[in-house]
């Protein structure tokens, strides 16, 4: 059985809200529920592991009752960083001969095609990271100057990032480093080659009010 780990550790600070962004409503239902539904639609047999901060677990359970949310999932307590949260979830995954996807809880607009590309490529090559090319011009700054960067050589990274479970577990046995900005960077630190696949531009990460407005416009139940 393949697994998806959905990481939802937001505090709501960027929204200036007491309610963390993953619990705000998107088309009548919390963002996090919309995200879980996407993976359930992709494959109902997926093991779904939801990582939440300790202080949000009871609130989430109350939301599930309120919205009559019945998709089966396991809840794991998060750690002090995203790295530690993912590691806590991986420690509950016993099988080593399957695939595990790691996804941001506030990316409810990932397409079925993107998820399928990630799982297919990871099964073939060991890992798969979705990405899209940037549309804007990009400049690199230094202390006293800045210069243009060829944007054709750049990619914007998304989730789900999918891996062979045994390889990912090995990667997460190492000590945390600040350069670990995503799961691919953790794996890459062991010398593993990272494989990119096409993502979907609608797969935005909801981090502020404008993102939520855009997501409402894009969302199709």
3-state secondary structure of 170: helix
Reported as a single tens digit per residue, the pLDDT across 183-202 is: 999 999 999 999 999 999 99
Q: Which domains does the chain have, with CATH numbers?
A: 3-218 (3.90.550.10)
Structure tokens at 100: 């595990």
Contact partners, residue 110, CB within 8 Å, separation at least 6: 35, 38, 103, 130, 158, 159, 160, 199, 200, 203
The larger pLDDT score, comparing residue 86 to residue 16, is at 86
50 close to 76: Cβ distance less than 8 angstroms: yes
Give the Cα separation of 197 and 122 in Å (integer): 10
- Residues 105-139: pLDDT tens digits? 999 999 999 999 999 999 999 999 999 999 999 99
**Prediction pTM value:** 0.94
Kindly write down the DSSP assignment for every residue of 42-110, as one continuous string.
H-TT-EEEEEE-GGGHHHHHHHHHHTT-----EEEE--SSHHHHHHHHHTT---SSSEEEEEETT-TT-
Question: What pLDDT score does 12 carry?
Answer: 41
pLDDT greater than 80 at residue 4: yes
């Amino acid at each position: 059985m393949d697994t998806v780990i959905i990481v939802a550790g937001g505090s709501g600070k960027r929204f200036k809200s007491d309610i963390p962004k993953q619990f705000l409503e998107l088309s009548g239902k919390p963002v996090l529920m919309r995200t879980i539904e996407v993976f359930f639609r992709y494959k109902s047999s997926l093991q779904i592991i939801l990582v939440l901060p300790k202080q949000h677990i009871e609130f989430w359970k109350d939301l599930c009752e309120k919205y009559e949310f019945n998709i089966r999932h396991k809840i794991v307590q998060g750690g002090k960083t995203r790295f530690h949260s993912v590691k806590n979830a991986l420690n509950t995954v016993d099988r080593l001969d399957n695939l595990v996807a790691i996804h941001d809880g506030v990316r409810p607009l990932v397409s079925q095609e993107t998820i399928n590309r990630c799982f297919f490529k990871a099964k073939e090559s060991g890992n798969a990271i979705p990405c899209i090319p940037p549309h804007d011009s990009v400049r690199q700054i230094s202390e006293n100057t800045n210069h243009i960067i060829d944007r054709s050589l750049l990619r914007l990274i998304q989730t789900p990032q999918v891996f062979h479970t045994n390889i990912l577990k090995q990667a997460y046995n190492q000590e945390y480093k600040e350069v670990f900005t995503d799961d691919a960077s953790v794996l890459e630190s062991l010398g593993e080659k990272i494989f990119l696949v096409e993502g979907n531009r609608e797969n935005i990460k909801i981090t502020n009010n404008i993102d939520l407005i855009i997501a409402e416009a894009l969302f199709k139940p």
